[in-house]
């Protein structure tokens, strides 16, 4: 291979490597996952639903605080990351809404993909607790 060919190939390879790095950074974020109107298992009074939600969150490391009847604020602190959600609920179902986050690359539509996993586990645990 001539020197010119090696140099000619070096530029496209460098651009390809740079593009791959950019894609890897993008792959760390995903569209934010919110839960809208998930159903509880069975029927229970609002006070019992509150206990189930708080128990589900606490079991996963969330700090769960009552804000009002049918509203709980959940905060998860992991290392330097923080996620805050609002849990809106009634006797039959619940929703999880992003309130704020720190060090999770939130841009208004996308967030670090770990956040979505935390919310999905919280959703699953709330549903599981509603069946107890």
- For residue 127, pLDDT over 80 is answered with yes
Percent of the chain with pLDDT over 90: 78
Under the banding of pLDDT at 50, 70 and 90, the label for residue 27 is: low
- Model pTM above 0.85: no
Characterise 78 by phi-psi region: left (phi > 0), alpha (psi -120 to 50), beta (else): beta
Under the banding of pLDDT at 50, 70 and 90, the label for residue 8 is: low
Cβ-based neighbours of 26, under 8 Å, separated by 6 or more: none
> E strands of the chain, at which residues?
29-31, 35-39, 63-68, 71-78, 81-89, 93-102, 110-112
């Amino acid at each position: 291979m001539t020197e010119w060919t090696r140099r000619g190939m070096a530029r496209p390879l460098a651009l390809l490597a740079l593009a791959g790095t950019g894609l890897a950074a993008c792959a760390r974020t995903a569209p934010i996952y919110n839960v809208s109107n998930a159903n509880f298992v069975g029927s229970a009074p609002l006070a019992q639903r509150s206990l189930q939600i708080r128990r589900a969150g606490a079991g996963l490391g969330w700090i769960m605080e009552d804000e009002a009847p049918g509203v709980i604020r959940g905060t998860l602190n992991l290392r330097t990351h923080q996620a805050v959600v609002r849990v809106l609920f009634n006797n039959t179902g619940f929703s999880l809404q992003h309130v704020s986050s720190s060090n999770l690359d939130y841009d208004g539509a996308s967030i670090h993909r770990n956040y979505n996993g935390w919310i999905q586990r919280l959703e699953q645990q709330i549903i599981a607790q509603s069946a107890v």
